[in-house]
Amino acid sequence: MSETAKLILEGKEYEFPVFTGSENEKAIDISKLRDQTGYVTLDTGYKNTGATTSKLTYLDGEEGILRHGGYSIEDLTNHASYMEVCYMLFNGELPNKEQLAAFETKISRHTLVHEDMKKIFDAYPTNSHPMGQLIAMVSSLSSFYPASLNPNRNDEAKRLTMFRMLAKMPTIVGMVYKKSIGHPIIYPNNNLDYVTNYLYMTFGNVTENFEVDPVIVEAMNKLLILHADHEQNCSTSTVRIVGSSQANLYAAISAGIAALWGPLHGGANQQVIEMLENIKADGGDTEKWINKAKDKNDPFRLMGFGHRVYKNFDPRALLIKDACDKVLNKLGINDPVLEIAKKLEETALKDPYFIERKLFPNVDFYSGIIYRAMGFPVEMFTPLFALGRLPGWIAQWKEMIDENQPIGRPRQIYTGYPLRDWKPIEKR
Ligand code: CMC
């Protein structure tokens, strides 16, 4: 007999089905709750709400497990290329050699963006934040590809939009960077693979030949994979909820980028480096800053610490910390903030405040140190997160559209005034 959950309300008993996921995760299916009882659930911040089922990513926050398509994040970062992971997120299976080559070729055919996009860039102040530009540029793609406006047109059109989005993002992120330093943009070179091409458009220069350091390519490949998908986080949920109204993919991704920008989400990677720099400038007293983070009268939070779902460790943070040591060693860089970060982590992990609240370093804690060693300015850290998260956003959007999911529309419990008599302005 299938499992059910019983609920007693106002003396009446109701039964609801229990849904079990492929990793034995349990959920009470309350889709008929309001119809049957007149009640809704109240769950501010969706801490206990499963908004969807999904085959893409499995995450166990208690055990620190992250898998895409059943493959562990450790295996994927050690063995896969970013394009293999993108393919798998789009298709559900890892590609064989021919499939991967065909996929890479297909993507490489769409790397250029319309020349008119440059005019939009021209209008931005040189030092405006890259994330604001990225949101606008991605949403502008819908104007250049009006056929994408109907996401349900047909499968072929849908895939073309997905490919265009994946292919053009490195070009746009490269353009955003070039704009920020006042340099001419670098056009994509489709003889290069996806990751190398992005690095070329960022660090290449029209005045000289460019050869990208393989250490940097390898690190970038790992970093992008580590960010590729993370089930129903704030930005992915945003992509799904915007897409659920059948807005086009570019609009949905643009909204996801906006959600990512916040310092509690992807914006944390920029904040971490700024925090570490502040601590360094303040004399490097990590105890003092830990105490600030614990002080409830002080708004300061230890950036790059804590996670809504991981309550033991963030497996991505472990992999990034390891990569960080390797990259800095290989590049011969000695960044004093790495020492501060390690000291901060060590102090926090022994402190009852952090232990009791299960607060550990998250993916953003060490990623900025690697990005900086690679030569990225801090403002580019969150666009890099967006670049990495892109295949996850696209795949989640596709899954939702393919499953014909209903529009996302949460309810609320009204706590304002009951009906009041109208008061003329002179009596208020
Ligand atoms: N520093 C100090 N205290 C913290 C921190 C922190 N970084 N994070 C959580 N807490 C405390 C919080 O004050 C609360 O304490 P109390 O129970 O006494 O009120 C308790 O821990 C639980 O925190 P919460 O805010 O209710 O937890 P949440 O699940 O709503 O928030 C979070 C998760 C990631 C937003 C939060 O931990 C945070 O603000 N971290 C810093 C920002 C950050 O690094 N964000 C990146 C997240 S990982 C990458 C990504 O997904 O983008």
Residue 391, ligand 1, Cβ within 6 A: no
Based on the residue annotation, tell me whether 307 is a catalytic residue of this protein: yes
Residue 307 has pLDDT above 90, yes or no: yes
Based on the residue annotation, tell me whether 183 is a catalytic residue of this protein: no
Residue 235, ligand 1, Cβ within 6 A: no
Residue 357, ligand 1, Cβ within 6 A: yes
Residue 228 burial by Cβ neighbours in a 10 Å radius (0-12, 13-18, 19+): buried
Please write down the HEC assignment for all residues of 175-231: HHHHHHHCCCCCCCCCCCCHHHHHHHHHHCECCECCCCCHHHHHHHHHHHHHHCCCC
Ligand 1 geometric centre to CA of 331 (Å):
33
Query: What share of the chain in percent tops pLDDT 70?
Result: 100
Residue 11 has pLDDT above 90, yes or no: yes
Distance CA(108)–CA(193), nearest Å, equals 8
Residue type, 123: A
Residue 369 has pLDDT above 70, yes or no: yes
Mean pLDDT in the chain? 95
Q: What is the largest CA-CA distance in the chain?
A: 78
Q: What does residue 306 show for φ and ψ, rounded to 5 degrees?
A: 90, 155
pLDDT tier, 1 (very low <50, low <70, confident <90, very high otherwise):
low
Is pLDDT larger for residue 321 or for residue 71?
A: 71
Ligand 1 geometric centre to CA of 428 (Å):
42
Residue 267, ligand 1, Cβ within 6 A: no
Distance CA(201)–CA(173), nearest Å, equals 9
DSSP bridge pairs for 20: 26
Q: What is the pLDDT of residue 150?
A: 86
Ligand 1 geometric centre to CA of 32 (Å):
33
Ligand 1 geometric centre to CA of 152 (Å):
38
Residue 300, ligand 1, Cβ within 6 A: no
Q: What is the pLDDT of residue 2?
A: 84
Question: What digits encode the pLDDT tens for the residues 128-171?
Answer: 999 999 999 999 999 999 988 888 778 999 999 999 999 999 99
State the pairing for strand pair 57-60/26-28: unpaired
Distance CA(193)–CA(272), nearest Å, equals 30
For a ligand 1 pocket test, name from 260, 292, 320, 359 the mutation site with the most ligand atoms within 8 angstroms of its C-beta.
359
Task: From the CA of 233, give the closest atom in ligand 1.
Answer: 51
State the pairing for strand pair 12-20/71-72: unpaired
Residue 95, ligand 1, Cβ within 6 A: no
Ligand 1 geometric centre to CA of 307 (Å):
6
Residue 204, ligand 1, Cβ within 6 A: no
Ligand 1 geometric centre to CA of 248 (Å):
32
Q: Of the residues 230, 307, 314, 322, which is catalytic?
A: 307
Q: Of the residues 60, 364, 402, 421, which is catalytic?
A: 364
Place of tokens 């004093």: 336
Q: What is the pLDDT of residue 367?
A: 93
Residue 268, ligand 1, Cβ within 6 A: yes
Cβ atoms of 40 and 411 within 8 Å: the answer is yes
The tokens describing 426, both together, are 């002179």
In this structure, the number of other CB atoms found within 10 A of the CB of residue 418 comes to: 5
DSSP bridge pairs for 59: 66
Q: What is the pLDDT of residue 126?
A: 83
Distance CA(113)–CA(241), nearest Å, equals 27
Task: From the CA of 357, give the closest atom in ligand 1.
Answer: 21
Q: What is the pLDDT of residue 316?
A: 96
Q: Crossing angle of helices 97-108/155-181, nearest 10°?
A: 60
Edge-to-edge strand ranges of the sheet holding 65-68: 57-60, 65-68, 71-72
pLDDT tier, 325 (very low <50, low <70, confident <90, very high otherwise):
confident
Question: What digits encode the pLDDT tens for the residues 21-59?
Answer: 999 999 999 999 999 999 999 999 999 999 999 999 999
Task: From the CA of 385, give the closest atom in ligand 1.
Answer: 52
Q: What is the pLDDT of residue 148?
A: 87
